[in-house]
Amino acid sequence: MTETAALPEAVDEIRSVALRAREASYELAVATRAAKDAALEAMAEALTARSAEILAANAEDVARAEAAGTPANIVDRLRLTDDRLAGMAQGLRDVAALPDPVGEVVRGSTLANGLELRQVRVPFGVVGMIYEARPNVTADAAGLCLKSGNAALLRGSSSARSSNAAITAVLRDAVASAGLPADAVQLVPGDTHESVKALMRARGLVDVLIPRGGAGLIRSVVEESTVPVIETGVGNVHVYVDAAADLDKALAIVLNAKTSRTSVCNSAESLLVHADVAADFLPRVVKELQAASVTVHGDDAFGAYDGVVPATDEDWATEYLSLDIAAAVVPDLEAAIGHIRRWSSGHTEAIVTEDLAAARRFTAAVDSAAVMVNASTRFTDGGEFGFGAEIGISTQKLHARGPMGLPELTSTKFVVTGDGHVR
Amino acid sequence: MTETAALPEAVDEIRSVALRAREASYELAVATRAAKDAALEAMAEALTARSAEILAANAEDVARAEAAGTPANIVDRLRLTDDRLAGMAQGLRDVAALPDPVGEVVRGSTLANGLELRQVRVPFGVVGMIYEARPNVTADAAGLCLKSGNAALLRGSSSARSSNAAITAVLRDAVASAGLPADAVQLVPGDTHESVKALMRARGLVDVLIPRGGAGLIRSVVEESTVPVIETGVGNVHVYVDAAADLDKALAIVLNAKTSRTSVCNSAESLLVHADVAADFLPRVVKELQAASVTVHGDDAFGAYDGVVPATDEDWATEYLSLDIAAAVVPDLEAAIGHIRRWSSGHTEAIVTEDLAAARRFTAAVDSAAVMVNASTRFTDGGEFGFGAEIGISTQKLHARGPMGLPELTSTKFVVTGDGHVR
């Protein structure tokens, strides 16, 4: 069991910002699309108009990180430039261009007694985001929440605290200048883990929490939070090459899934190959993977090839996010399904096959957010799926599963209209 | 903070039943509607064919309850009869008659690159139900879970343990006789709170928990569970009588909402009246409520009438579930909305008005699972809404809100089909 008590002052601070967010959410919930889009445009303009103060704050974060000996690639992720600010502004304009999910009638009918029933999309209210990533997430999250009518409570990483404070200040002014409440966008006060704990226990004050970041962050939020959580992003992703696979397609898909971008959750981490095609496929795939600097962690069958290192259970379980892949030969399709059931994190799995029955069985039996047939696992992405903006990729089954767009940041309510109806 | 550690043996027991449920869920997920409906019919037949053993077990529970001095109305809720068993059987047949939610294509398109995208309804997998109610819930929950392709882990109240064990044994045999796995329906072993604790911490083994019962049970599950929870049923329900109300309709709606059935979550607990109609409406409504044996807990305006007892903040917050109502006069519509925002549990609120602008403002500003215009709050019900079976009424915003039918017992997955597509 995890210790979840937070210090009283942290609880009071969260309570105070959450209540202000709740007040703001009442205005946001009834704001028109035109009003929200105008605010998003004002936010985009402000990011570039006030770039000097944001870059100055960012320089503080960068200097602190460098002084602490932070690796250069991490410092680079932290660093903002005029180009990156322009990208953040464009992201806000892209969100403005998306349809407003609020007010969509999801379902509706007239009941036998004449009552008119409508199920309508409404905002959650107050959305908490806890993230470790680059400071651009602060603007992304604020924009997505505002467009979906939600007040945002943002808790970024402490390494980006100066940048996040400056970005939030700029965005709040812009929201207010467009006539919506500045408290639609708030940074969670405090820089300690206490404030995160208090946020996670603010059930009733915060409607949903979305953690974005590494597996450790997400696990701790999932375990400690009494606020409902949408779990995102851990991907122990498998590609299964079937007996009936086109091996050229299989090779292209494995290489794309593993090497096109290793640090993302939809990249492949494990390769399973049907025994019938192992003699043909293994030499080709091992050679090409190694030519792309990938270390193959293989079972005995893969172990017969030079440079393959032996795989342990830890390899089957690992989301490498690096130029490594676990690889095994399986006797048949059911064994592949069994392996995936045991080890997958339920993000994305792919089968490569020309056999319709195998494709049908795999897509029915594999219980992951996305199941691909003859396509790279890298396609599991809100942009690729045509959803426009992406809040994250849900790997839980409740509420949203897979890439989440704006509608996934909403709830619904039933509006029932009668003329004095009683039961 | 609540102590949530469970005893190791309880954890092991839950793990064992949950793993068996997981295995069963693989078969259930791909079972056809015909196979599931045949199992439901077999379950219905078995409940009446084997009524003797169920009634004998129930007699043990009843005897134990009576020996413990349990109030007669509670003992009556516990008691099974041939009629009640026939009702449970009919309930299972009604579920068989409902459409199968599994396999429904929720969304689909062909992407610009030719990838075919489909979002398909799939079962959650393993659903845990924790309930305090009558033993008939055991059959209801088993039937709803089976139809939606989920394996059910059932934890009823210990007062009904013999009945629940007998019903579950009968249902398991019936499921197996119809060719589906008996472990689709399991009772959670153990009779102590330890087993409930272990169930609530079985994240990864159990996909979702649905507590049904009193506010205390639901609060404890929501606070202690690391398994995702769907919160159901607490209703501090308001009726607001607007300045533009038809007072005859208002009177009928208030009486129906308060008195047609007091023990249910959609019954009214608070009455708010616009000051402009108070002089006309208060004497009528107080008189009629009192004639129906309702105690009115009123503010100063209501307090002017005989028999009205003074209301405190506790009254505004209380879900009475009895012949009591809290009542206040408000200066205007916004004050009514403010009162509801402060005190409502977000279940159902109603406005009585002939003024379209007032109705629009109320339905937009009141953030509850159901918002009624000129209709009794008692209509918030899966059966009334035409959903057929009802698992419960969700008062949370994540996943499902309001009455939940079979589709709300499912998740979705994306199935993406290509021809060797890579990014």
If asked whether residues B151 and B216 sit together in one domain, one would say yes
A131 and A94 co-located in one domain: yes
Residue B391 lies inside a defined structural domain of this protein = no
Residue A390 lies in a domain: no
Nearest to A376 among B367, B378, B423 (CB): B423
Going residue by residue through chain B, which has 423 residues, state the pLDDT in tens, using 9 for 90 and above: 344 466 788 888 899 999 999 999 999 999 999 999 999 999 999 999 999 999 999 999 999 999 999 999 889 989 999 999 999 999 999 999 999 999 999 999 999 999 999 999 999 999 999 988 689 999 999 999 999 999 999 999 889 999 999 999 999 999 999 999 999 999 998 777 888 899 999 988 999 999 988 788 888 888 889 899 998 878 999 999 999 999 999 999 999 999 999 988 999 999 999 999 999 999 999 999 999 999 999 999 999 999 999 999 999 999 999 999 999 999 999 999 999 999 999 999 999 999 999 999 999 999 999 999 999 999 999 999 988 878 889 999 999 999 999 999 999 999 999 999 999
Contact call for A416 and B109, based on CB within 8 A: no
Q: Does A207 touch chain B (CB under 8 A)?
A: yes
Q: What is the CATH number of the domain that holds A350?
A: 3.40.309.10
* Virtual torsion, Cα A248, A249, A252, A255, nearest 10 deg: -100
Domain that holds residue B275: 237-383
Residue B401 near residue A412, CB atoms below 8 Å? yes
Closest by CA to B312, choosing from B329, B299, B294, is B299
Residue B377 and residue B262 in one domain: yes
Spatial distance between the Cα atoms of B331 and B278, rounded to a whole number of angstroms: 10
Non-local (6+) Cβ contacts of A211 within 8 A are A129, A130, A131, A217, A218, A221, A222, A229, A231, A232
* A142 and A256 belong to one structural domain: no
Specify the CATH number for the domain of residue B194: 3.40.605.10
Residue A305 lies in a domain: yes
For residue B245, being part of any structural domain is answered with yes
Q: How far apart are CA B406 and CA B388, in angstroms?
A: 8
Question: Is the ipTM, as predicted for this complex, more than 0.95?
Answer: no
Does B70 contact A at CB distance below 8 Å? no
**How far does the CA of residue B223 sit from the closest CA of chain A (Å)?**
5
Query: Would A394 be classed as within a structural domain?
Result: no
C-alpha to C-alpha distance for A127 and A38, rounded to whole angstroms = 21
CB atoms within 10 A of CB B12: 10
Helices (H) and strands (E) in chain B, counts: 15, 16
Q: Does B379 touch chain A (CB under 8 A)?
A: yes
Residue A116 within a domain: yes
Q: Does A243 share its domain with A296?
A: yes
- Would you say B344 and B368 are in contact if contact means Cβ atoms under 8 Å apart? yes
Among the listed residues B70, B100, B79, B66, the one whose alpha carbon sits nearest the alpha carbon of residue B406: B100
Does A203 contact B at CB distance below 8 Å? yes
Same domain, A324 and A175: no
Nearest chain B residue to A251 by CA: give it.
Answer: B420
Pair A77, A27 in one domain: yes
The residues pairing with B296 across neighbouring beta strands, listed in sequence order, are B325
The predicted-structure confidence for B32-41, as pLDDT tens digits, reads as follows 999 999 999 9
- Determine the residue type at A325: I
Hey, are the CB atoms on A417 and B373 less than 8 Å from each other? yes
pLDDT at B133: 67
Same domain, A106 and A208: yes
Rounded distance, CA A128 to CA A208, Å? 6
In A279-346 the beta strands, taken as DSSP E runs, fall at: 295-298, 309-310, 324-330
Whether residue A274 sits in one domain with residue A219: no
Chain A hits for B383, Cβ within 8 Å: none
Total structural domains in chain A? 2
Residues of B in contact with A248 (CB under 8 A): 420
Residues B121 and B134 in one domain: yes
The answer to whether A126 and A153 have CB atoms below 8 angstroms apart is: yes
Q: Which residue of B has its CA nearest to A366?
A: B26
Tokens representing A10 are 């942290």
Could you tell me if A200 and A261 lie in one domain?
A: no
- Across the interface, do B249 and A420 touch by the CB < 8 Å criterion? yes
A204 within domain boundaries = yes
**A391 within domain boundaries:** no
Residues of A in Cβ contact (< 8 Å) with B246: 420
How many other C-beta atoms are found inside a 10 Å radius of the C-beta of residue B150?
28
Tell me the per-residue pLDDT of A160-175, one tens digit each, with 9 for 90 and over: 999 999 999 999 999 9
How far is the C-alpha of B216 from the C-alpha of B232, rounded, in Å?
12
Same domain, A226 and A299: no
Q: Compute the Cα dihedral for A206, A211, A215, A216 and give only its sign.
A: negative
